[in-house]
A and B are shown apart, each in its own frame.
Chain A
Amino acid sequence: MPNYSWPPMSTRKAIGQRLSRHDGIEKSTGRAKYNSDLNKPGMLQSALLTSPYAHARVRSIDVSAAEKAPGVTAVRVIAPAGTELQWQSQEIAVVAAATEPQARDAVRLIKIDYEVLPHVVREEDISKVGNRAKPAGEQLTGDPDKAFKEADVVNEGHYGIPVLTHCCLESHGQVVQWNGDQVNYWPSTQNVSGIGGDLAKNIELPATAIKVHQDHIGGGFGSKFGSDRWGVEGAKLSKASGGRPVKTFLDRATELNIAGNRPSAYAKIKMGAKKDGTIIAWESTSWATGGMGGGAMPPIPYVITNIPNRRLNHSAVATNGGPLRAWRAPNHPQASFLTCAAVEDLAAKLGMDPIEVFVKNIEYAPEPRRESYIYQFKKAAELSEWSKRWHRRGDSGSGPVKRGLGVGICSWGGAGHASTCNAKINPDGSVDIELGSQDLGTGTRTIIAQVAAETLGLPVNAVKVKLGDNALPPSNGSGGSTTVGGVSSSTRIATVNALDKLFEKVAPSLNTTADKLEAVGGKIQVKGDPAKSLTWAAACRKLGTQSISEQGQNNPRNPLGLNTQGVAGVQIADVSVDVETGVVKMNRMVAVQDCGLVVNPKLAESQVAGACIMSICGALMEERVMDQQTGRVLNPDMEFYKLAGAADIGEIIVHMDLREELDKRGVIGLGEPPTVGGVAAIANAVANAIGVRVPIIPLTPDRVLRALEERRSA
């Protein structure tokens, strides 16, 4: 078998370079075409009718007036009479028309009679959800009752983090054309190779009939894997409209209401410890919702999982809200917040530094990562000036603005997914690298080019990367931070295979054998005798008219040491809180993160910084607000579903943990882990600053003031 392993760190040429992303200029000049930008000849627009109620039954529906409305080509009923609607904005009918305003007008002509049914949409007070809470059964380890009696310090707290939505800037949707026995499908998707099969299943065509293409995606974050109801209906509208292409992209309110959300997590947590900070007991009662399916228990206690005595109870609460979808590091940010907040509160009660408490208990973390956490705590403390700026809880001076520091941690898997790459070396010297993958803005195109260039000894811009089409060799969807490991490994294998073929072709003209050749600096040369060489162009000319085309596959069960899983990360937030107004201001966020071999540190740092900013949004602003009276989402727009702006984030300091021993582990995914610890870090920094826990996220001024008020009145 050829040697596929990564070249050692010291000899790498293309891998490890801080290159700018290859599709950057297309995006920043507006030339990049997202599928929501497409205008196909004869294209129709569509509009959805969705439920105004959180829970209702359709008594009757009459679309006859809509069908006769100007410009309308097709109307489809999704929820016929008798259908029970389980959340606001659930799809009822869809209209295709020549223009978008016409489609919307026609939707307004649909007559529908609802029987309104009782709903539950709020879960933060579990005593008010009635039979909507489904207990999952107790998990018991050791003897927590005995351990709490033996503890020197016991701390009890309650904590909560609400439902968030993905709020992808490019909404969910597609252009789709069902013409005869073929469907051309241009979705906004994280799953180029797989989404065609999903659509095919739902419209009863063979998967091979669906041609998927997507050059760019405007955000997915875990919410864009399937064809969705609107994809299926779009295809059927196209068929019913004589095969004309139909465009459907959800409006913002619908996107926020039904295109996925991150489940909430609430918990009462009791921890017991010895005076020296050794944690000996954990007890938690938690609950969560992500719609009618409820919400699973986050993996608590997080990272320091193996506390010897634990009792865990969890209930999934079914609420009449849009269904959950994967959201960057599913359930990890919630788990990190619940755990790190409880540890921070325990540390405050012990009179200890929370980092000391984590380190003291690091043996409860999985063995392979313990050393990483200790190193990263130290590094993050150094970068955040922890020893200078951290203080005992509430000990932050006499003025109204209090400064505090807090810490949060992350863990993630991130092994490479199944991926196939085709590498073509052409007689004119050009190189095509083809994968049915997608670049979510993470830099996938760029890192693939770097891997190929490294193998072939070429400049990175000599490699052309083709992604985004399901006619290309399949790669799995981009979820769980699996893409970089998958595509870098398959590209490495494919390019090594292709290069070996080229070596075989040119070896005779260099009077040697293929195994004696290497590709370095744009040349094919004899190892140890660089004078005997051919330029890349001259070598490729020896191919005559036939390109070399070789595949490589990443097999997740045997990744050949090219990729692996398991990372650690530590984040420290530095905030100022005005105790008169309750406003929290970010001063600084420090993130120390490992992810094995880093193909492009510039893009990796961007990912981590972006994840920190998402955490700032989640800690300080984001919340899907439900109204129990009407059952509706109160903030289904970007004015009141708040995201941070450029002035709200303070400074972000990213330190990629690039130590050689981590590099040797191979490539590991990075999309999820840095999104995990930030909320915990910010919440803990606020507690450190103002001397009291603000239990519920986001840390809005009203919640900060209420926590301060409750302390005063206590």
Chain B
Amino acid sequence: MSKHHDELDEKAPPKGGFSRRGFFRGVGVTSGAIGSALLGEQEAEAAQAGGAKQGPGAVPVALNINGKVHNLNIEPRVTLLDACRNHLDITGAKRVCDKGTCGACTMIANGKVIYSCTTLAIDAQGKQIQTIEGIAVNGRPHPLSTAFVNNDGQQCGYCTPGFVMAAKGFLDKNPNPTYDQVKAGLGGNLCRCGTYVGVRKAVLEAAKAMKGGKNA
């Protein structure tokens, strides 16, 4: 019942029931002691490096998404997911659990798979963010997108963009996966309609189609 694995180490589940974002929603982000105590080590360093208190009002945030820089004025508590969905109309990534469990919000940041619902937009600055909208290859659907169709790895489709992005992150690091590796590699994403049979086949088919490093 593994819900994560080594290749998707960026998607470690939240510890305990405390909602980091819920806290941010209440107080804004500071570099002070309270804030740091609740942040991960790297995030605390980043926050301190940033210096001055940010928020609680709107602050300028620059996001590089699919190769294009978007300048926003949003509150520091806004997640990367909500920045994309509510402010940029980039809506392929979905808000489902909103807690880093289900993977429907999956994006790729600097080549690593992330849950964008538990990433603050201000923390995503300076990173190359890739969303489902940005993975087409020369204007054609990514081989994973095509393989999901061929193998019927989707029903309602709401989890699908997240699955495609998680699978892309997985295949980028594991271009020749075995069937068992694929099953484990998709462990960070959940589907309610029950499409895993098609999803698993789709990832194997896409792996074959992507061989030779032809894909971004």
Contact = CB atoms under 8 A, between A and B. Distances in A.
A638 B85 CA distance: 21
Given A252-B96, A648-B1, A29 B132 contact: yes
Main SS class of interface, B? loop
Contacts of B154: 21, 24, 27-28, 441
B190 A638 contact: yes
B189 A37 contact: no
B206 to A, nearest CB: 11
Given A168-B192, A441-B156, A610-B155, A30 B99 contact: no
A530 to B, nearest CB: 34
A702 to B, nearest CB: 14
Interface in B80-130: 82, 85-86, 89, 91-99, 101-102, 104
A645 B99 contact: no
Interface residues of B, number: 65
B157 A612 contact: no
B157 A646 contact: no
**Range for the number of chain A residues in contact with chain B:** 35 or more
Contact of B2 (A614, A637, A638, A647): A647
A441 B157 contact: yes
A712 interface: no
Interface stretch (B29-37, B45-53, B143-151): B143-151
Interface string A19-46: 0110111011111111011010000010
Interface string A85-101: 00000000000000111
With most chain A CB atoms within 10 A of its CB, the pick from B93, B184, B192 is B192
B207 interface: no
A655 B198 CA distance: 16
A611 B141 CA distance: 29
B3 interface: yes
B201 to A, nearest CB: 11
B196 A24 contact: no
Nearest to A217: B156
A639 interface: yes
With most chain B CB atoms within 10 A of its CB, the pick from A28, A32, A169 is A28
B152 interface: yes
B161 interface: yes
A442 B13 contact: no
B183 interface: yes
B164 A28 contact: yes
B171 interface: no
A169 B158 contact: yes
Contacts of A170: 94, 96, 156, 158
B152 A606 contact: yes
Contacts of B204: none
A110 to B, nearest CB: 15
B157 A32 contact: yes
Given A169-B191, A609-B197, 9 more contacts: A30-B92, A30-B160, A440-B156, A610-B195, A613-B191, A637-B101, A645-B2, A645-B3, A649-B196
Interface of B: 1-3, 13-14, 25, 75, 77-78, 82, 85-86, 89, 91-99, 101-102, 104, 131-133, 136, 141-142, 144-146, 148-150, 152-161, 164, 182-184, 186-187, 189-200
Interface of A: 20-21, 23-25, 27-34, 36-37, 39, 45, 99-101, 104-105, 167-171, 216-219, 221, 249, 251-252, 440-442, 583, 602-603, 606-607, 609-614, 617, 621, 637-639, 643-649, 652
